[in-house]
Amino acid sequence: MCLGIPGKVVEVNRSESWAVVESFGVRKKVDIALIDEDLVPGDYLMVHAGYAIGKIDLEDAQISLELWEEILHAE
Amino acid sequence: MLNKLRDPELGKRILAKLVPLAQEVAGHLGRPAIFMEVCGTHTMAIARSGLRSLLAGSLELRSGPGCPVCVTSQGDIDRVIALAAARHDLVIGTFGDMMRVPGTNSSLEQERARGARVEIFYSPAEAVTFAAGHPQDEVVFLGVGFETTAPAVALSVAAASSRGLENYAVLSFHKTVPLVLENLLSDPELKIDGLLLPGHVCTVTGRRAFDFVATKYNVPAVVAGFEPVDLMKAVYLLLKQVAGGRAETVNGYPRLVREEGNNKAKEIMREYFEPVNVQWRGFGEVPQSGLALRDSFSFYDAAVRFPVDVAESPPPRGCACGDVLKGKIVSSDCPLFARKCTPLQPVGPCMVSTEGACAAYYQYEWPKAEV
């Protein structure tokens, strides 16, 4: 039940507090009441028991991968 | 790009760096370093990725109190089963992995076979929708989970309230992670060299909520994500700390975890729940580490509306789930493991839940061919 599933936002409805996200090819409506940040299609959310709990920062994911490349190429 | 975090080629290259570093640290310590993961999803991810066996001999990875179903006390399990048994007029709503957890005399699954009404929901929001569609039924949703699940359950109460539903209530067994880690780290028998912190709990609480692990207990800690590359990164960052003789709480999952966490989720949790003393399997009572609905929401509190009087029971005979949750033993050290206790006939919750250490160990790491 602690399973978090990342999903790509395809539709946002702020006034009704939901977004449709796509994960592994499956689309699902999730509650976005816990997300304060702006959301637009193409953003990624971490979804937990039907509720988005955080917005995924793709820039950080990219930096993380680049750091690995640096570590792997060092020495 | 997120797919890259599952790339086996990248994983192999990282592993080629990890193993020598783990060996160096083991040489320095005179034994393999022991790291504990405190999240059921990490337990599964580590088992599935084969990371534990790939590092065997140079690093030991152990499970901690990270599986919400597993840490639920025997008394609380008995309480919900007793409610299901006594009140066939109620619909008990639950996440799926609670169904087969053995109580002292029965399980929710067995009670359902005897006529109790038990419905599995993926989300508390679904339970509210069910209540709205079944006005003649009283729905009791079983709130099991940590800081990741509690805000969702709080929002389900908010939704029931705003829709004017009078047939929805929550039985809260919610627990919070930092206080049980304090309890764990205070145990003088515990010997661990680092903690892999639960990335999604930290998404809500923030990294800072776990600073105490390093500052108060001098144990290195890294907030870890769940993809194979995330886990290897967290192990790498822990090894670097141990090798350098440092202890810090490092954010290894910055694409999701912020310093302060998700303020909105924290606010909602505080608005609906208050901290209470609660029993944990393996730990006993941990003060203020449980979440009960506040008095102002007692109308939605199943503990108030449908009280059941059940005493705390000892865990199932021979079951070492409590020691597994404290990292004192690994699953295969339990005499019941794979003999009397299997996923088909589980004795304790760690063999039932998909996030349970014993279930993960049985499914992915135990060399069945040898027995």
As for the ipTM of the complex, it is: 0.93
Long-range contacts of B129-133 (CB under 8 A, 24+ apart): B130/B91, B130/B93, B131/B160, B131/B165, B131/B167, B131/B168, B132/B163, B132/B165
Residue of B1, B41, B97 with shortest CB distance to A4: B41
**Measured between CB atoms, does B227 come within 8 Å of chain A?**
no
Q: For residues B58 and B63, give the distance between their C-alpha atoms in angstroms, rounded to a whole number.
A: 17
- Its domain, for residue A17, covers 4-73
pLDDT digits (tens, 9 = 90+) for B219-265: 999 999 999 899 999 999 999 999 999 999 999 999 999 999 999 99
For residue A59, the chain B residues in CB contact (below 8 A) are 255
Tell me if B155 is assigned to some domain.
Answer: no
Contact between chains at A31 and B152 (C-beta distance less than 8 A): yes
Contact between chains at B254 and A60 (C-beta distance less than 8 A): yes
pLDDT of B156 over the 60 cut: yes
Tell me if B364 is assigned to some domain.
Answer: no
Count of residues for chain A? Answer: 75
Domain count for chain A, please give it: 1
Domain count for chain B, please give it: 1
CATH number at residue A30: 2.30.30.140
Please name the residues between 80 and 139 in chain B that touch chain A, using a CB distance below 8 Å.
Answer: 95, 97, 122-126
Q: For residues B322 and B73, give the distance between their C-alpha atoms in angstroms, rounded to a whole number.
A: 10
Contact between chains at B255 and A57 (C-beta distance less than 8 A): yes
Q: Cα dist. A32→A37, B146, B269, B287 in Å?
A: 10, 19, 15, 32
pLDDT on residue A46: 96
pLDDT digits (tens, 9 = 90+) for A55-70: 999 888 888 888 888 8
Q: Which residues of B225-239 are buried (b: 16+ CB within 10 A; e: fewer)?
A: bbbbbbbbbbbbbbb
Nearest CA in chain A to B198: A2
CATH number at residue B55: 3.40.50.11750
Compute, in degrees rounded to 10, the torsion defined by CA atoms B86, B92, B97, B102.
0
Contact between chains at A65 and B13 (C-beta distance less than 8 A): no
Give alpha helix (H) positions in A1-75: 58-73
Q: Does residue B153 contact residue B119 with C-beta atoms inside 8 Å?
A: no
Label residue B64 left, alpha or beta by phi (over 0 means left) and psi (-120 to 50 means alpha). beta
Return the bridge partners of A9, or none: A21
Contact between chains at A51 and B144 (C-beta distance less than 8 A): no
Q: Cα dist. A40→A13, A29, A50, B108 in Å?
A: 10, 15, 19, 42
Q: DSSP letter for A37, please.
A: S
pLDDT digits (tens, 9 = 90+) for B312-362: 889 999 999 999 999 999 999 999 999 999 999 999 999 998 889 999 999
A49–chain B nearest CA distance, Å: 5
Contact between chains at B152 and A56 (C-beta distance less than 8 A): no
For residue B93, the chain A residues in CB contact (below 8 A) are none
What's chain A's average pLDDT?
91
- Its domain, for residue B246, covers 33-67+179-251
pLDDT on residue B134: 98
B197-206, B266-275, B358-367: which has the minimum mean pLDDT? Answer: B358-367
Banded model confidence at residue B366, pLDDT cuts 50, 70, 90: confident
B63–chain A nearest CA distance, Å: 15
Tell me if B210 is assigned to some domain.
Answer: yes
